[in-house]
Amino acid sequence: MHEDLREVLVDEVRLQARIKELGRQITADYQGKDVILVGILKGALPFLADLMRAIELDVSYDLMAVSSYGASTKTSGTVRIIKDLDEEIEGKDVIIVEDIVDTGLTLNYLLENLRSRKVNSLKICTLLDKPSRRKVDIKPDYNGFEIPDVFVVGYGLDYAEKYRNLPYIGVLKEEVYTK
């Protein structure tokens, strides 16, 4: 375990097993459909990569980059699209792939934005869900793990661009982000 972590919340074995389960669920739900996975950079990238390999369908993917945090541990509430989709999604079945759903403000903005593009369907797949912090009524359609209100890093999640490469989800020690 990394020295800046208080504990490992979800170890690598549990993480990969749950992603395989999510892949099986999505495979069953989307037979015969034109599916595009929309990964939200940067945090969702490891999850997106493992999830798409666990889906036994022809799927395509695209990436968006949005920001509402910066180098803070709390969302600013202001969402900015830094990188938009390269592909057209009109008429497609879209699954937003997120690393974590926290307040839901960023995701709420994305849902409205992507719905306006005349998609066939739009669902959310998140690795982590923190419903205790929700400020808008959003419930992921596919959820890896529900977690308590702790600051987590690893497997794509960061604090000030660090810890993304950890192969598990850990709880960051408070003294690391309150310096």
pLDDT tens-place string over residues 14-63:
999 999 999 999 999 999 998 999 999 999 999 999 999 999 999 999 99
Q: Is residue 161 part of a domain?
A: no
Note the pLDDT of residue 12.
Answer: 98
Q: Which residue in 123, 121, 97 sits closest to 33, CA to CA?
A: 121
Catalytic residue selected from 102, 141, 149, 158 = 102
Q: Is residue 179 part of a domain?
A: no
First to last CA, the chain: 21
50 catalytic per annotation: no
Q: Is residue 90 part of a domain?
A: yes
Query: pLDDT tier at 178 (50, 70, 90 boundaries)?
Result: confident
Q: Is residue 59 part of a domain?
A: yes
pTM above 0.85, yes or no: yes
Q: Is residue 155 part of a domain?
A: no
d(CA 72, CA 90): 34
What DSSP letter does each residue of 50-106 carry, written as one string?
A: HHHHH--S-EEEEEEEEES-TTSSS--S--EEEE--SS--TTSEEEEEEEEESSSHH
Domain housing 18? 13-147
Number of domains in the chain: 1
Residue 76 has pLDDT above 70, yes or no: no
CATH of the domain at 129: 3.40.50.2020
Residue 142 has pLDDT above 70, yes or no: yes
Note the pLDDT of residue 65.
Answer: 93
Note the pLDDT of residue 77.
Answer: 61
Q: Is residue 77 part of a domain?
A: yes
Q: Is residue 164 part of a domain?
A: no
pLDDT tens-place string over residues 92-114:
999 999 999 998 988 999 999 99
Chain centroid, CA 51 distance in Å: 11
Please provide the size of the chain in residues.
179
Q: Is residue 121 part of a domain?
A: yes
